Amino acid sequence: MKEIALSMPAKINLSIDVKKKLANGYHSVEMIMQTIDLFDTITVEKENKGISIDCAQSYVPNDQRNIAWKAAELFFSECPYKGGARITLKKNIPVSAGLGGGSTDAAGVLKALNILYDNCLKDLQIIQLSRRLGADVTFFLAGGTQLAKGIGDELTLLPCLVGIDVVLVKPDFPVSTRWVYENLDLNLVEKRPDTSKMIGAIEAMDVRLLARSMENVLESVTVKEYPELQTIMDRFTEYGALGSRMSGSGPTVFGLFYDSPSAEAAREKFLKDYTHVYHCRTIGRGDFNG
């Protein structure tokens, strides 16, 4: 096999709690992540040597700044075979949006290269490489519904939430995850998620309880800086969402809906004011070809 194409999904954060800032500058977190059926396509072709990236979007770097490039570099640092890769990215997931677009691309590159190079690295080795790239990269190796602890890389598989209607609204401004964490004051956080309650709702497949229980402590930073995000959440409630929160560090806001017609009606209303609006569904492990 000389070439492989994988569809890699975006994610939403059903909850984010930040426990404390660690001495190394990272933060201890507890969050529930969920894959959705909004996909980037990653095509990887074997080359004799070197790494190259081709992405049509001008705002996506085609060099060592791209985490997909870094993933390929790490892979070849451990791969027993000499070789290279040409990576083509077809971006559908918005960037700097809190949806994990870069991380899912990196996970796809690791998986694709391992297939192309005869599964030369064991699963544990791929997981170890993914952790060096970022906690979300590790999550995307399996996807579905997962609980993340530690710095986000201590993952526990949860029962998969499949087929829940989700609407995403991404405003036309980026948000830096680093900036959000640097400005996070845990003393000012008023609401924290009840993770045990949320896991119970997931196990019972009680979508209404789950939606009512969602919280994201990073909103204390991002929403304060960008009040428009609260307006979007309020509109989701007005449009019949069971619950609405910001994904990741933002700026994307999502709403969970009871059925597809309600979600589609909300999407149509948001499209009057925003360009990047998506009607998606939650997917489980194995529901994508990554």
- CA distances in angstroms from 137 to 38, 109, 133, listed in the order given: 16, 10, 7
End-to-end CA distance of the chain: 16
Query: DSSP letter at 41?
Result: E
Sign of CA dihedral 149, 154, 159, 165: positive
3-state secondary structure of 12: strand
Active-site position among 11, 70, 91, 170 = 11
With 0-12 CB in 10 A as exposed, 13-18 as middle and 19+ as buried, what is 265?
A: middle
88 neighbors 55 (Cβ within 8 angstroms): yes
- Is 20 considered catalytic here? no
**Cα–Cα distance, 57 to 61 (Å, whole number):** 9
Active-site position among 17, 40, 105, 136 = 136
- Is 194 considered catalytic here? no
Q: Which residues pair with 11 in a beta bridge?
A: 35
Task: Please identify every residue annotated as catalytic.
Answer: 11, 136
